[in-house]
Amino acid sequence: MTSMGSLTRQISQLDISNKKPGATASSSTRPPALKQPTQPNVTKLLTKFAAPNPFTNASNKPTNPSSLRNQAQATTSTSSKPALTAQPSIDIGSYDGGLELDNEKRGERVYGEAAEELALDSSVSRKCPTREWTLHDFDMGRPLGKGKFGRVYMVRTKAEPKYIVALKTLYKSEIVQSKVEKQIRREIEIQQNLRHPNVLRLYGYFHDEKRIFLMLEFAGKGELYKQLSKLHRFSERRSSRYIDQMADALIYLHGKHVIHRDIKPENLLLGINGELKIGDFGWSVHAPGNRRMTLCGTLDYLPPEMVEGKEHTEKVDYWALGVLTYEFVCGFPPFEDRNSVNNTYRRIAKVDLKFEDKEVRLSEEVKDLITRLLRYDPQKRIPLTEVQKHPWIVRYRPKGVVRDSAT
């Protein structure tokens, strides 16, 4: 089987956008992510930028099932471009039969109002309808992980030009048991309309009698949590660049009236160029390990207003960004008490913030940013636009990257 490093190099040679050769990416504020490939008219599979959805119906109306090959040929014929050339073969790994095994012993068919609520199909979406999809449209590859409601697999579309995505399964009966039908529907519909280079794309979704399937952007470098666990903590340079990307993504989300509410390393992925991707919007729980107790796993990132049962705003994400910064550079959350949930509650409510670990020497700049994010009063937390201008962020920002809000 091809190694992840080899796979990453192969994927990075592809191009999934439908733009003309030489066209710039959608964000004018970022430097070009990749050198243009030599193959003419090859579509970019994974890029540093938010790629256009290759599965969207241009007419914005539901259509009969048709192959991506036909869509591609229609595009090239109208623009007088040469036909799509063959793409390099990418090894998606061996399928372990997990979906079939799971489906035999897991989940039940749902009926009535719940069935209607969970009959989710992006081909009939009002805003961004896609072509119609079924499980038979994919070649199944290796497992990528497990979520609360099902498995995730690397898959490739059978139709040309054979796009690679991560296919995530959600079992309807388990969603009903958790009483989150409306939340699932809302979060899926929200994420499909998000377009940001640091937000994992949801290209489309479909369902059968027992399951919902989500077609997600494949994050080529995997789970950020695994790298943090392996290294224990990140350098300030690496941490600063991640927090810069997080702030940019959160500004975008809040501008769309989306509050994430669950920022933590377990919900972050890394794209093909190592860029951070927010990868969980409430319809699943990504749990690669049992590093924290269930309650503490959520509690570590909760702000005082949520711990105390008060109303909250988008500024809960400001607090979580401060906790994330601390964990990146220190290797553990600032208010964690593994021996007592109540002590964790108290430390959060008192904002009992300490920088006393003798093994970690932090710069005054990062301490300042963390302290300004972790304020008890939400209104006193440093705005995200100011986070992008903070000396600790600006110091490590790569040359050529300009933030609109930071100019």
Detail the residues annotated as belonging to a binding site for ATP: 148, 168, 217-219, 266-267, 280
Q: Please state, in angstroms and as integers, the Cα–Cα distance from residue 295 to each residue in 324, 337, 345, following that order.
A: 17, 12, 11
Binding site members: 148, 168, 217-219, 266-267, 280
Tokens of 29: 């504020």
In terms of Cβ atoms closer than 10 Å to its own Cβ (0-12, 13-18, 19+), residue 95 is middle
Tokens of 149: 């409601």
Q: Which distant-in-sequence residues (6+ apart) come within 8 Å of 284 by Cβ?
A: 147, 148, 149, 168, 170
Report which secondary-structure segment, H or E, holds 320. helix 315-330
Q: Please state, in angstroms and as integers, the Cα–Cα distance from residue 144 to each residue in 96, 222, 278, following that order.
A: 11, 9, 17
CB 41 within 8 A of CB 79: no
CA 114 – CA 106 distance, rounded (Å): 18
| 352 given a catalytic annotation | no
Tokens of 34: 């990749």
Q: Which of 262, 300, 317, 337 is catalytic?
A: 262
> For 319, how many CA atoms within 13 A lie in the half-sphere containing its CB?
29
Residues serving a catalytic function are 262
